[in-house]
Amino acid sequence: MELLDRFLRYIKVYTTSDSESETVPTTARQLDLAKILCADLKEIGIEDAHISEFGYVYGSIPASAGCEAAPALGLIAHMDTSPQFSGENVNPQIIPNYDGKNVQLGTSGRKLDTDMFPWLPTLAGRTLITTDGTTLLGADDKAGVTAIFCAVEKVLKEGLPHGKICVAFTPDEEVGKGPAHFDVKGFGADFAYTVDGGPENEVSFDNFNAAAAAVKVNGFSIHPGESKGKMVNAGLVLFEFNSMLPAGDTPRNTEEYQGFFHMLDISGDVDSAVSHYIIREHDKHLFEGRKQTMLHIAELLNEKYGEGTVTVEIRDQYRNMREIIEQYPMLMDYADQAMKSVGLEPLHTPTRGGTDGATLSFMGLPCPNLGTGGYAFHGPFEHVTLEGMEKSRDVLLELIKLFAEK
């Protein structure tokens, strides 16, 4: 099956995860793709392909003759798509020989605009794949799934020399639970790469430290005509809390290594109110400072309105893999060599998010992240190019070659 056909087949499968679910995986629909991938792996000759009890797809290829001493290489991508936008009934637009100009997304009224997405002209001449404006595309991370699949398929079909190759397709990455039940020991890799980034030349070993925060306010509701000196309007206190955070430290105003506070939602009334945030920062000391800022604001408001008015619950989500990957510089060296071998100039960029590899690195599996050729993930403007995915596949083939030689 050609790469484009395989990608289109996979994005048609509805696999959105659910942050509120307590099941494993968080949505049963992810198993629909897991079953397809497991069958596809078996079909190309990966005999031990299987689905774990937690919905992970695993498979491995034994080292070819003469490469038995090579380090075992793991390749990982996730099956789920983001719950931030609909991932059901994906209807992609395929534009051969794209002209680099604005693209109308079906009849949705949305468009890919070169002012908003200034890299679009650089994709001219390629086959561009977009949404119809009503769903996300699913390139995050089915482009990664496809690139891995097509790379190992080529290795097997052409009998290319290789060390042991371990493949995993994970559920629930988009809700931060991808590594929760990952069997590092059973996976069998010495080192791995997640294929879950943006442009095909992206190489990243530097991601956010991440935490989630719930800010809860207990108000005091009384008849407004009798409320002088008594009423504590929980909603207004919550607004006051948010106003005390650094106004410029939001996703809209930050880039590269700049961290932020991001309000995800807000709800409530006079009696009680709650808001959920995510906290992001690359530097671990600045990260701790951001958490302390939120706790300090709560203290100040409790002094003003009474103890127990504001509570802040903070839960760490993942850490910056950099402190682990720096111990294995050859992983970045190999990635750079692989990129250059296929005509790409490596782009070292901080990941303004997280990947399964961030947590897996701290679980004993050092795991940088590679690009997939995709852009504008998690919404209706998501797009990818066929040529980008092909380059991503070729980078993996070069990595397999490099690991076999070592």
Among all residues, which ones are annotated catalytic? Answer: 80, 173
Residues forming beta bridges with residue 279, ordered by sequence position: 211, 261
Burial classification of residue 65, based on how many CB atoms lie within 10 Å of its CB (0-12 exposed, 13-18 middle, 19 or more buried): exposed
Residues forming beta bridges with residue 103, ordered by sequence position: 112
- Nearest 10 degrees: CA dihedral of 388, 88, 42, 48? 100
Cβ neighbors of 216 (< 8 A, separation 6 or more) are 272, 273, 274, 310, 311, 312, 313
Orientation of helix 139-158 relative to helix 3-11, angle to 10°: 140
Are the C-beta atoms of residues 170 and 181 closer than 8 Å to each other? no
- Nearest 10 degrees: CA dihedral of 286, 288, 291, 293? -60
Q: How far from the centroid of its chain's Cα atoms is residue 151's Cα? A: 21
Are the C-beta atoms of residues 218 and 266 closer than 8 Å to each other? no
Secondary element (H or E) of residue 335 = helix 329-341
Burial classification of residue 366, based on how many CB atoms lie within 10 Å of its CB (0-12 exposed, 13-18 middle, 19 or more buried): buried
- Give the Cα separation of 114 and 52 in Å (integer): 43
- Give the Cα separation of 37 and 52 in Å (integer): 13
- Give the Cα separation of 266 and 280 in Å (integer): 19
